[in-house]
Amino acid sequence: MPHTAILITEKSWISARVIDAWLAKGNRIAEVWCFDPASALLAPPRSLFGQVFPAWDVSRLLARHGVEVRLCPPLKGWSGASERATAAGADVLMTLMTHQIVPASILRPFAGRAVNFHPALLPHYKGPSPRTGMLLDGQADMAGGVTLHVLSPGIDEGAIIASRAVPRSMARNDPHWDALQAEAAGQLAAGPLLDYLAGRLDAVPQQPGSGNYRRVAPTEYTIGPAIDVERARFLCETLSEINRLICTLPDGRTVSVVGFSRHLGPPTGAAPRLGPGYVDIDVSDARLRLRRRNPLSKVMAWVRKLDAVRRVGRTGME
């Protein structure tokens, strides 16, 4: 029996692969609920990447299938949410790569048919930044993957329907890891999710207090005098490809760092200095030159994304 879902999502590869798999199995999406007037979901599809790989682009998938993106009031105070879901004819609520917290009053009418795709192997790394957290902790092989779970009032605490492990070491780089996780999420949507909705698969409750909730503080991905050169190298090797690594200038501006260039010598006490494609900055025990984001690095990041999706398209989860 086909199902009809309401989606709460943002643009991501995981969202796109889940949407594509869900629709390919003959199911429907009644509408997508959006809460930010500036969301890219409300704009027409325009990315070049989406032209090349439309099945990996949320906006193009929704447009192709005629799915409406509805700008809604904030979930916490939206008293008409349940009525809207009923009017849309939805029997499933699905959240994907969003920080929206769904109140119990909205979950209740779905009676266990509200689900979330979380980019970590629960019960580990609950919370809004699981991948950054596990990379910082050196746990991306242990906790890397995607978990499909029932939504509950507690954040990422609902019963687990199924999961797919995607250790970081199986990927060539971070875009490849993202693409592998997205493919894993699509597999969960095409198989275990439908088995669960049909009553062929039971969700397994998480043990109270198990795993961890990981909140990532900005200081953890900032390079500056508070860390040493060893930590700076680690951060450059670990976070530079996911666009989370920064350094801060004296005027408060942040610079996006994309890699380690070289060790310039001992710390000088001077302020960070911007150059063409680099920034010189003190850490606690050295003066370093770091590569910063620029037009060329943006092009190379785009090329790596193209390669990652092509590779997963050819070989799947291998």
Query: What are the tens digits of pLDDT across the range 17-72?
Result: 999 999 999 999 999 999 999 999 999 998 899 999 999 999 999 999 999 999 99
- Cis ω on the peptide bond leading into residue 153 (within 30° of 0)? no
Do 134 and 45 meet the contact criterion of CB atoms below 8 Å apart?
no
- Residue 83 corresponds to which tokens in the numbers above? 């009525």
- Residue 219 corresponds to which tokens in the numbers above? 């200081």
The percent of the chain in helix, strand and coil, each rounded to the nearest 5, is 40, 25, 40
The proportion of the chain whose per-residue pLDDT surpasses 70, expressed as a percent, equals: 100
Euclidean distance between CA atoms 318 and 309, whole angstroms: 13
Asked which of 8-17, 130-139, 251-260 is least confident by mean pLDDT, the reply is: 251-260
Q: pLDDT value at position 288?
A: 98
Contacts of 266 (CB under 8 A, 6+ apart): 285, 286, 287
pLDDT in tens, 157-187: 999 999 999 999 999 999 999 999 999 999 9
- Residue 198 corresponds to which tokens in the numbers above? 């049909």
User: How much is the mean pLDDT over the chain?
Assistant: 95
Euclidean distance between CA atoms 3 and 277, whole angstroms: 50
This prediction has a pTM of 0.94
Given pLDDT bands bounded at 50, 70 and 90, which one contains residue 244? confident
What is the 8-class DSSP label of residue 316? T
